[in-house]
Chain A
Amino acid sequence: MAEIAISSEELDNLIEEALSEEPFLKAPLSLQRGVEARVRLISLREHEKRRFSVSMLTLTLLFFGSVALSGILLWFTNLSVLYTDGVSGGKGWFDYYATAISLSFSSYQGAYSLVISFLLALATLFLAGALQIHKMIYSD
């Protein structure tokens, strides 16, 4: 205490002086940029979370909707009975085409492959387009 032999009053003054004279600092330039970048990330994350929830909800509803619809259709239309007994000659008509296709499949393989490839390509394009539209709906 040799160098700082100060009275209580002097100490009080010193404390008051030290605290009230503390300079007001300028915030670094990187502060605002840093916060803005983090805020942007947060809002993107929230947006993605929302989009994911909406997608999942839509898919779930679609799935259960299709199952329910199929159930209702089967229940009310009784398709299997209609197919076997309800349409006269229905079974025979189906058998005719099934047998014809199975017999001719080997000779028309190329043509069927072409049709299937074409259908697959169409389905791919349709899916890609649907996904793109889906993204656009839920993006900013």
Chain B
Amino acid sequence: MKNIFIFIRRNFNFLCFIVLQVLCITMLTRYSKTHEAFFASAANEITGKINKQYSGFSSYFTLKETNRQLAEENARLRNMLKNNFVAPDSSRKFVTDSLTKDSTGRYRKFTFLLAEVVGNTVTSQTNYLMLERGSLQGVKKGMSVVSPQGIVGVVVTVSDNYSTVMSLLHRNSKVSAMLKKDKNAGSIDWDGSDPSYLTLKNISKSAKVAKGDTVLTSTYSANFPPNLPIGTVAGISSDPASNFYTLKIKTATDFFTLQYVYIVENSRYAEQARLESMSQKTND
């Protein structure tokens, strides 16, 4: 017993070092799997406040670009206004019976919530954004984030007033996507090299792909609303060993100048996720 104490006293620094290392590596592996770190929400709150100060300065430099994006989005939305469309034939009248419309039970599936970006990186292998919206404003883990130009990422940690978003530019990010032309679905990920290009895999070789084709979010995704722009095809490579194309996608979103984004809530996300995990259990 005495010898053990002597051993501990003699190697106290080394033992401390080992304990700290083990602690670090446990945190790291746990975080990259589940995105739940020790003190995550407390730390999120503090770093969020500091990031907010910084983005207050830096947002001035991209005001012009932000303005242009918002004006473009306004124009697009204005084009969708009802009074821009005229019935083709004036002799016939369109009547929408509001009663039947209500009773068929249309429901709102996606809700959009505006959020300011207070932190953003594009240089690392695991890029995250920080938004100034948190659980008090109704943000939950798993919600999707879109910008005026295209999709951005998925919320991974939430504190009271801030939330962290795993951007598309993250080695673990995966989004279900489809070609606009023929609805061929595949999955989007990032190879970690260039922040303006993504990779679209598992597109069948029967699809007629050309450079410049638009890629949208697919209807299979649980958190992203369907038909939002992801990017355009910039390069096509076909692996002779498989039946799939690997496409290089130029992102629609400019990740370098993000200022304001929308957090999208799918009101049936929990239900869909639960069903998916149940069907996975039956497979095991």
**Do the two chains belong together in a single complex?**
no
Mark B residues whose CB is within 8 Å of A.
Answer: none
